[in-house]
Amino acid sequence: MTAATTDVIAIGNAIVDVMAPAEDADIARLGLAKGGMTLVDTARAQELYDAMGPAREISGGSAANTLAGLAALGASCAFIGQVADDQLGEVFAHDIRAGGIAFATPSRADEPPTARCLIFVTPDGQRTMNTFLGASQFLPATALDETAIAAASVLYLEGYLWDPEEPRKAMRRAIAAARNAGRKVAFTLSDAFVIARHGDDFRALIAAGEIDILFANEHELAALTGEDDFDAGIAALAPKVSVLVVTRSENGAVAVTGGERTQVPAEPVAKVVDTTGAGDLFAAGFLFGHVRGRPVADCLRMGAICAAEIISHYGARPEADLAELIGAI
């Protein structure tokens, strides 16, 4: 096995977030599931956009956000994801490359347009996401650069992207490429709805030992294991992966590795402005520690610090100097 030349390569949705403040009454009136992520078609996306207040556009996408955090921390990163050949695609590509992340997936000439996520942010900082997947779901397996995957210490996969068929095939090929090269595979479960639809796939991958590092929040843990009790869920899942990381919002996070459980409290935040990207940036901090060979307690703390930064402002891409923030660890 040759030395890795990249720390983390990720496959994920290539999305631009369209974010606006909203009141709880708006969420109710529009029939949205507060705090959740819902896939929307063109007509519903237009309806929701028309109902949205003045917005701002900031690149997003779960795995892409994680890479933005990793790159800001100093890791070398590459991204694979599908944008269309349009202005939002240019925005996404610019932002990810400007963050120092290699991104070589060619844009797609045909309809549909680049993915966007319409995010309503309530005064409590909670985000309610409505994703129009657009071009993102058409990532072809041919877009994979298997040499690049084999050259990265960690392949990081976004559960959201397991839903559409073509990217799912691409991700299966990517897992094989990474494992053949002796690399680690990290996976985030993303959302309970993905588990509802593809839980059998995920459980099979985990049972087959294809996932080394698994990220979940407590709801996803329950959905995947069928255990409503947190400790029971941990006990059921932890033996099946090398590293299990479960985030619990304001209750901190837990990691289990080699049968040993480590936990960390949430990092204090003066004001939670927008929780978009909290899990993504937790994963960034944790993975950064991991690829740098740091003890798991340090990895968790790095995750908590990065998550705290991202929820202190609008948008899921870091604004503060993350490397400086974790400097003391």
- By CB under 8 A, tell whether 98 contacts its own copies: yes
Q: What are the structure tokens assigned to 83, written together?
A: 């944008």
Among 11, 82, 86, 149, binds its own copies (CB under 8 A): 86
Q: Which of 40, 61, 63, 95 lies at the binding interface for its own copies (CB under 8 A)?
A: 95
Nearer to its own copies, 120 or 202 (CB): 120
By the rule CB under 8 A, 91 interacts with its own copies: yes
Binding mask of the shown chain, residues 278 to 317, with x at each position contacting its own copies by CB under 8 A: -------------------------------------x-x
* Interface segment toward its own copies; rule CB under 8 A; list 90-98, 129-137, 206-214, 240-248: 90-98
Which x/- pattern, by CB under 8 A, does the window 108-127 give for its own copies? -----x--------------
50 versus 110: smaller Cβ distance to its own copies = 50
Q: Which residues ranging from 52 to 81 are in contact with its own copies (CB under 8 A)?
A: 52-59, 68
Least distance between its own copies and beta carbon 177 (Å)? 28
Binding characters for its own copies, 2-41, by CB under 8 A (x = yes): ------------------xx--------------------
Kindly list the residues in this chain that would bind its own copies in the complex (CB under 8 A).
20-21, 49-50, 52-59, 68, 86-88, 91, 94-96, 98-99, 113, 315, 317, 319
